[in-house]
């Protein structure tokens, strides 16, 4: 009984003194822990786009960046020259270093050290392009593209690499995205942009260099969400047009959302240029499309600090409904060709069903974009890459003669008679026209139009004309008048 009482007393005494003992123990820890933490290396971290299997832009000042402890030195060694460069991490734990790259080749490794070591393997040096836009750029074999499925058998190519930016909207510019580089094979190709793949495949085949394709696209998105918010909100016309866009639950409509989440994180990554397929979601605000598109282009160029080439796709014919909204947007895209270092491919001949806003022929689109890049960016002109474009007209009595640029071999009509070409007099009533092909121009007339003043070709929401250049590309839809679109007599 006495022993039990003694043990109980000792236990109570120990419990009573426990807080003091713990305080003394903790009081001794901070200095020791500080020394221990100070000896531990800070975590060296890279953005997802800086990774093994990536392609770096050849003969450029490529940027590598990441995060480590503030004030720490980061060492970078590339295997192509075995030279080690270093940079000090800033107070916000970020570092960035410029790495001059050689001519195309590989595979190479890059070793990055800052307390710990990261080794990037199987790196190629070549040409890097961003493929962006909405659904017609996003479409892959999972959308039912037979041309991609047919390529699975022999698509494996170590010299073509993909990086897919996940769909991410953000209110403010982000500094990283989730993703990873993948070597082209039937698995990685399955969910990558069909247009982007065929574009990259043709560049790889013609230039004989590795090609990296960065996919950053989201079906249904308008140009406004791909443009920095300040660039839209600071312009009255663009802001009012953006306010007319219809919000949905399927894609972002906040100004700059896709730019912040899907472009801003990669603007430090050196690229050769951009291919773009978008416009369908801007049909209802077509009057400002040239302005928003060129604003977006210049915003991206400033972000990359480079005069990036932009090659884009004119939206395809589709049953948008009555009126001329889609025709107007195509006209805005045509006018954008006057902007510096851009190019447009036409798709009026690549549609088999105007009730489907997603045409399946993506190889031809990718190839036409690649021909632009090969000619204008890389100086190769093995193929005609510009569609014939209306230049001027002469009125000769009851006929109009039309002249075209980019039609060195002249024009021809596919089929028995010309489609989707109309002529009108001062009454603005357009009638189907008879077309006669001359040596370097075409003559247009109609029995019911004695004094013609205007011609329209392919100028309709779902119009599929059949006037082509002898080199095989369709004539760009056009109109010679500037009449208000609601003033035309049906």
Boundary residue ending a domain (102, 125, 148): 125
Any domain includes 382:
no
Residue 221 is assigned to a structural domain of this protein: yes
Give yes or no: residues 367 and 431 share one domain: no
Q: Looking at the predicted structure, is the pLDDT value of residue 285 above 80?
A: yes
Output the pLDDT for position 39. 44
Domain boundary among 377, 412, 441: 377
Q: pLDDT tens for residues 291-350? A: 999 999 999 999 999 999 999 999 999 999 999 999 999 999 999 999 999 999 999 999
Same domain, 229 and 134: yes
Average pLDDT of span 242-255: 93
Are 19 and 8 contained in the same domain? yes
Could you tell me where the beta strands, DSSP code E, fall in 139-217? 157-164, 181-184, 211-217
Q: Give a yes or no: residue 47 inside a domain.
A: no
Q: Assess if residue 45 is contained within a domain.
A: no
Residue 383 lies in a domain: no
Task: Identify whether 81 is part of a domain.
Answer: yes
Structural domain span for residue 100: 55-125
Lowest model confidence (mean pLDDT) among 35-39, 99-103, 313-317, 401-405: 35-39
39-46 contacts, C-beta under 8 A, 24 or more apart: 41/69, 41/114, 41/115, 41/116, 42/68, 42/69, 42/72, 42/93, 42/114, 42/115, 43/67, 43/68, 43/116, 44/68, 44/74, 44/112, 44/113, 44/114, 44/115, 44/116, 44/117, 44/118, 46/112, 46/118
Q: Are residues 106 and 138 in the same domain?
A: no
Binned at pLDDT 50, 70 and 90, residue 7 comes out as very low
**203 and 332 in one domain?**
yes
CATH number, domain containing residue 139: 3.40.50.1110
Tell me whether residue 263 is in a domain.
yes
**Is it the case that residue 386 has pLDDT exceeding 80?**
yes
Residues 262, 163, single domain; the answer is yes
Rg over CA atoms, the chain: 30
Burial degree of 42 (CB within 10 A; 0-12, 13-18, 19+): middle
Does 231 share its domain with 373? yes
Same domain, 292 and 426: no
Residues 210 and 318 in one domain: yes
User: Tell me, what CATH number does 76's domain have?
Assistant: 2.60.40.10
User: Integer distance in angstroms from the first to the last C-alpha of the chain?
Assistant: 113
In the listed set 125, 147, 182, which residue is the last one of a domain according to the structure?
125
Same domain for 247 and 171, yes or no, is: yes
Same domain, 166 and 256: yes
Residues 158 and 295 in one domain: yes
- Residues 100-155 have pLDDT tens digits of 999 999 999 999 999 899 999 999 999 999 999 999 999 999 999 999 999 999 99
Residue 50 lies in a domain: no
Number of domains in the chain: 4
**Average pLDDT for 281-293:** 97
Task: Provide the pLDDT for residue 383.
Answer: 79
Q: Please give the sequence-ordered ranges of beta strands (E in DSSP) within 137-200, or none if there are none.
A: 157-164, 181-184
């Amino acid at each position: 009984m006495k022993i039990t009482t003694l043990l109980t007393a000792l236990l109570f005494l120990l419990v009573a003194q426990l807080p003091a003992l713990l305080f003394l123990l903790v009081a001794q820890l901070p200095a020791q822990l500080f020394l221990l933490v100070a000896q531990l290396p800070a975590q060296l971290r890279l953005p997802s786009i800086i990774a093994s299997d990536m392609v770096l832009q050849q003969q450029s000042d490529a940027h590598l960046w990441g995060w480590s402890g503030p004030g720490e030195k980061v060492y970078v060694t590339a295997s192509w020259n075995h030279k080690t460069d270093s940079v000090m991490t800033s107070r916000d734990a970020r570092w960035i270093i410029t790495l001059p790259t050689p001519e195309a080749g590989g595979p190479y490794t890059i070793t990055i050290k800052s307390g710990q070591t990261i080794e990037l393997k199987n790196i190629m040096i070549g040409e890097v392009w961003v493929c962006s836009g909405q659904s017609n750029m996003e479409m892959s074999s999972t959308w039912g593209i037979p041309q991609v499925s047919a390529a699975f058998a022999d698509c494996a190519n170590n010299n073509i690499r993909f990086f897919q930016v996940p769909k991410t909207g953000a209110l403010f510019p982000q500094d990283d995205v989730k993703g990873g580089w993948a070597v082209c094979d039937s698995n990685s190709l399955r969910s990558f942009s069909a247009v982007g793949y065929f574009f990259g495949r043709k560049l790889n085949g013609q230039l004989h260099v590795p090609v990296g394709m960065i996919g950053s696209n989201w079906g249904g998105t308008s140009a406004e969400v791909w443009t920095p918010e300040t660039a839209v909100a600071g312009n009255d016309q663009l802001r009012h047009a953006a306010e007319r866009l219809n919000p949905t639950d399927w894609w972002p409509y906040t100004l700059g959302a896709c730019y912040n989440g899907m472009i801003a994180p990669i603007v430090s990554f050196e690229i050769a240029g951009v291919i773009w397929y978008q416009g369908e979601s801007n049909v209802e605000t077509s009057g400002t499309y040239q302005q928003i598109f060129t604003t977006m282009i210049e915003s991206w160029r400033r972000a990359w600090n480079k005069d990036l080439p932009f090659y884009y796709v004119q939206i395809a014919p589709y049953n948008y409904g009555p009126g001329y909204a889609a025709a107007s947007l195509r006209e805005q895209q045509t006018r954008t060709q006057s902007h510096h270092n851009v190019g447009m491919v036409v798709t009026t001949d690549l549609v088999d069903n105007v009730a489907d806003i997603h045409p399946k022929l993506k190889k031809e689109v990718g190839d036409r974009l690649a021909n632009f890049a090969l000619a204008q960016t890389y100086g190769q002109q093995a193929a005609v890459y510009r569609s014939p474009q209306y230049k001027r007209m002469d009125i000769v009595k009851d006929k109009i003669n039309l002249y075209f640029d980019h039609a060195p071999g002249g024009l021809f009509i596919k089929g028995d008679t010309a489609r989707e070409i109309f002529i009108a007099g001062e009454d603005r009533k357009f009638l189907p026209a008879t077309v006669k092909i001359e040596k370097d121009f075409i003559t247009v007339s109609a029995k019911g139009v004695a004094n013609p003043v205007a011609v329209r070709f392919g100028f309709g929401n779902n119009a599929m004309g059949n006037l082509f250049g002898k080199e095989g590309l369709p004539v760009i839809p056009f109109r010679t008048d500037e009449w208000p679109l609601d003033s035309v007599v049906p």
